[in-house]
Amino acid sequence: MTGGERTRMLPLVRVYLSGPMGAGKSTVASAVAEQLGTRALDLDERVEQLAGRSIAEIFAERGESAFRALEKEALEGLTADAGVVSLGGGTVVDDESRQMLLRQGIVITLTANPAVLAERVGDGQGRPLLGEDPQGDLERVLKARGAAYAEAHAVIDTGTLTIEEIVAEIVAVRNRSPIVVPLGLRTYRVEVGRGTRHRVGVRANEYSEGDAILVFDGGNDRPWPADAIRDLTLAGKPPIEVKLPGNEAHKNVASVEQVWDTALEAEVDRRAIVIGVGGGVIGDLTGFAASTLLRGVALGQIPTTLLAMVDSSVGGKTGFNRPRGKNLVGAFYQPKFVLCDVETLSTLPSEERIAGLAEVVKSAWLDSEDSVAMLERDADALMAGDADATIRAIRMSILLKSRIVHEDEHESGRRMLLNLGHTVGVALGMIAAMRVAARLGRGRSEETERLTRLLGRLGLPTDLDERLNSRVLGFIGSDKKRRGDRIYFVIPRLPGQTAIELLGLDEVRGALDQI
């Protein structure tokens, strides 16, 4: 594939090169721009133009805070023809700027061993952060900025690759366009597309030097575990296999014990990786088993249902059921990678695939007007299982979730928004939440009607009044979000304007029962 062909594939995706001084950002930026047929821009040079003085002079005369303000101004003023931007070494340290860059383009961190970096920068002349011991200073810089540098679409060691290899890897990442779940040193990427499941061998070797334990649903109509076994074997990691029933009835501690015991009997060590292939039940069991096996080993997820792709595989919630309810025992444990392959949806019954669209609608309503409008345009294609429309929907959902998880990993605040509709059930639950909002004077009937139309177009249930009964209302009291006689209830308003309120249980039941 030529550089021109790659440019036509993703014409609007800008590449940002981050990393410490000496990593080769400017040199690599020029080579990548040439490959993509675009223009490279050095942000430090742009800052110097804005200030009318050198970086060293800005630091000496006005301090680092003034320099960072100029950096932001330079970023906001980038022209559209700059397809590759070499950032300053500390640009991404600011969380707001870093998250903006992750949303707007592809962020690649270039790095190298401190000794290699020190050799490249020489005596550090003109670099205000370096003193008499450049290598020691660079070690401190890398340690201080490690979490920020990790929040990228890829981290590439320029000390071990040729310029051609670096450029090829950057272009490949740009074309894959993974979604970053930015959690500092625990950052991971979610790959969405066709055939992504076949990267499992590469990813397993990337994050584990030990054995692979493959946990999967034993359904005979699903070929995806066999693909994973083959791909891992070809990558030199023939997996230890654990076959589990992938239904709610077996989402229990006995299934977790089966994963533990199989792995321990095979004498795995802490370098192992546990990989789940299947729906949400398999994903939750796999995640919890990985979080507890030998006090925690690496985890990979290959979700094979739409619901698992947009919900349980991303965000780190793991768990199993107990007699008093679902997912009442579990842990937050993030994976190392997630591979969402829309080809795996081809074996799903249409009703199961369509059921997953309820979570997609929820994500769109939480996200923005643009996302809701996209689903309205794509509704017929989504109903038909169109791959491109499905990829767009999955990406939108995961991008929203990655932002929320970054802000609130352990569901102590904003992440509760993802529970919209869960108190009563997702599709009907969203309609119920809309009605509660209207009853309490927080919403309008127009939004309820719009949401109901969209759910109906996607083949999802909308007959709330027919299904609302005392048993359903009783579920509200056993919800995990309950606090005594009150519950954290997600109140939907306009798209992108959803709020969380602590309401009385009787207040919620009454608002629903009187409609």
Written as six digits, the tokens of 456 are 């109906």
For the chain, the domains span 3-177, 188-348, 411-513
Residue 221, Cα to own-chain centre: how many angstroms?
29
Yes or no: domain 3-177 corresponds to CATH 3.40.50.460: no
Measured distance CA(281)–CA(252) in Å, rounded: 10
| pLDDT tens over the chain, length 515 residues | 344 433 334 456 899 999 999 999 999 999 999 999 999 999 999 999 988 988 888 988 898 888 888 888 888 888 888 999 999 999 999 999 999 999 999 999 999 999 999 999 887 676 777 888 889 999 999 999 999 999 999 999 999 999 999 999 999 999 999 999 999 999 999 999 999 999 999 999 999 999 999 999 976 667 999 999 999 999 999 999 999 988 888 899 999 999 999 999 999 999 999 999 999 999 999 999 999 999 999 999 999 999 999 999 999 999 888 887 788 899 999 999 999 999 999 989 999 999 999 999 999 999 999 999 999 999 999 999 999 999 999 999 999 999 999 998 988 778 888 878 776 667 888 888 888 888 888 777 888 899 999 999 999 999 887 766 555 555 555 555 556 577 778 888 899 998 888 887 777 777 776 54
**What are 184-189's contacts with CB under 8 Å, separation 24+?**
184/147, 184/148, 184/150, 184/151, 185/146, 185/147, 185/150, 186/150, 186/334, 187/150, 187/151, 187/152, 188/334, 188/335, 188/336, 188/337, 188/338, 189/153, 189/154, 189/337, 189/338
Measured distance CA(62)–CA(247) in Å, rounded: 62
Given a contact cutoff of 8 angstroms between Cβ atoms, the answer to whether 312 and 338 are in contact is: no
E strand segments, 445-498: 482-483, 486-491
**Closest listed residue to residue 293, CA positions, set 212, 198, 199:** 212
At 304-361, the pLDDT tens digits run: 999 999 999 999 999 888 887 788 899 999 999 999 999 999 989 999 999 999 999 9
- DSSP category for residue 356: H
What is the reported pLDDT for 6? 39
Q: How many H helices and E strands in the chain?
A: 21, 17
**Closest listed residue to residue 213, CA positions, set 294, 279, 329, 312:** 294
At 372-394, the pLDDT tens digits run: 999 999 999 999 999 999 999 99
What is the reported pLDDT for 354? 94
Given a contact cutoff of 8 angstroms between Cβ atoms, the answer to whether 378 and 508 are in contact is: no
Fold of 188-348: Rossmann fold (3.40.50)
* CB-CB neighbours of 9 under 10 Å: 12
Task: Please state which CATH number belongs to domain 411-513.
Answer: 1.20.1090.10
Angle at 270 between CA 264 and CA 272, to 5 degrees: 75
What is the reported pLDDT for 426? 79
Residues in the chain: 515
To the nearest 10°, the Cα dihedral for 35, 40, 44, 47? -160
Q: Is 459 left (phi over 0), alpha (psi -120 to 50) or beta?
A: left
Measured distance CA(76)–CA(57) in Å, rounded: 22
What is the reported pLDDT for 2? 41
What is the reported pLDDT for 515? 44
What is the reported pLDDT for 475? 55
What is the reported pLDDT for 414? 82
- One fold for 3-177 and 188-348: yes
What is the reported pLDDT for 375? 98
**What is the maximal distance between C-alpha atoms in the chain?**
76
Beta strand 482-483 pairing with 39-42? unpaired
